[in-house]
Copies of this chain bind each other. A is one copy, B any other.
């Protein structure tokens, strides 16, 4: 099969022909339909800390078709379309049973999506319904990362939210913040490349002002934020977030910063700020992210079963006292 493989740090990936994968008894072969390129894939090829080996196939955001499986696999059949959860775990410990697989003692990360075929395990395969595409199946992962962060943040209906970083994670946070009831969602970046996309995904306002990030965000949001989501992963941003959040507010840390960061805990304590960190996601969050892509699933306007005039109101009013297929009837006077 064809695959784009890692060669060495600071070198481009190389297109190679590898042997088609053969599944172990408990493995599944997925013909990759779509695979996302993640920012961390880019970092892996530049930073020795990630420990990539020559020949490795990157790619952990993928969906495809089941085309083979080992003898012990149950619950899947050839032809099933699946999104692959890139979290490897034992599948039966206490954490796994709750779907909190990132805390399983055998936890590791799955790659392999930059290829025609990839090997995975059945407990990582989430079947796709007929109303989602393979492209949809490949963007569930960043949505789930963001949903986990929003869930841990304790966000409430009506909160003001500031998101630092307009990469896929920050944009996915904007989507969930809007969907789960934030009153106002601002996304802040150092360039305006993603401005329109951010608005399409739920942001009310996009802020670019590297000279004056705190004042600009405050003006855009109409005050300090109830919650600041750090979705960049660079030194200095937690300290900035402390300035940008309300007294007693929350900073939710999604960004992975491998360099040591300097911050002033005194300023944080003076405002009684909470710093909450968020790693990966749970299986229910992955499934909820899939459901969010399932466009037909929930249309609130279906409440309305008919519209009538004021003239017809007294009669229709009487007929509504007998239960029928009517639901919410609107009067148009």
> What is A's interface to B at a CB cutoff of 8 Å?
2-4, 12-15, 32-37, 41-42, 45-46, 59, 94, 99, 103, 113-116, 135-136, 138-139, 142-143, 147, 151-152, 156-158, 167-168, 171-172, 174-175, 178-183, 191, 193-194, 197, 200-202, 238, 247-248, 253, 256-258, 260-266, 268-279, 282-285, 287-289, 291-293, 296-305, 307, 310-311, 313-318, 320-321, 323-325, 327-333
Contact = CB atoms under 8 A, between A and B. Distances in A.
Contacts of A253: 265, 268-269
A277 B265 contact: yes
A140 to B, nearest CB: 9
A1 to B, nearest CB: 8
Given A12-B314, A269-B277, 11 more contacts: A2-B310, A4-B317, A12-B318, A15-B310, A114-B310, A151-B157, A157-B285, A178-B297, A179-B179, A197-B303, A201-B300
Q: Which of A139, A142, A265, A277 has most chain B Cβ within 10 Å?
A: A265
B273 A277 contact: yes
B275 A274 contact: yes
A68 to B, nearest CB: 16
25 contacts: A4-B314, A13-B313, A114-B331, A115-B310, A138-B330, A139-B301, A139-B330, A147-B157, A151-B157, A152-B272, A156-B284, A158-B283, A158-B288, A171-B302, A175-B298, A178-B297, A181-B285, A197-B305, A201-B302, A202-B298, A256-B266, A265-B277, A269-B279, A270-B279, A274-B276
Given A42-B320, A142-B303, A201-B303, A332 B33 contact: yes
Contact of A303 (B32, B168, B269, B277): B168
A272 B279 contact: yes
Q: Which of A171, A274, A284, A313 has most chain B Cβ within 10 Å?
A: A313
Contacts of A262: 260-262
A143 B136 CA distance: 28
A258 B267 CA distance: 9
Nearest to A289: B300
A55 to B, nearest CB: 14
Contacts of A182: 288
A302 B196 CA distance: 10
A180 B178 contact: no
Contact of A263 (B12, B191, B261, B274): B261
A15 to B, nearest CB: 6
B34 A330 contact: yes
A200 B116 CA distance: 36
A314 B151 contact: no
Contacts of A256: 266, 269
A181 B276 CA distance: 21
Contacts of A156: 151, 284
B136 A13 contact: no
A78 B179 CA distance: 31
B114 A37 contact: no
A4 B310 contact: yes
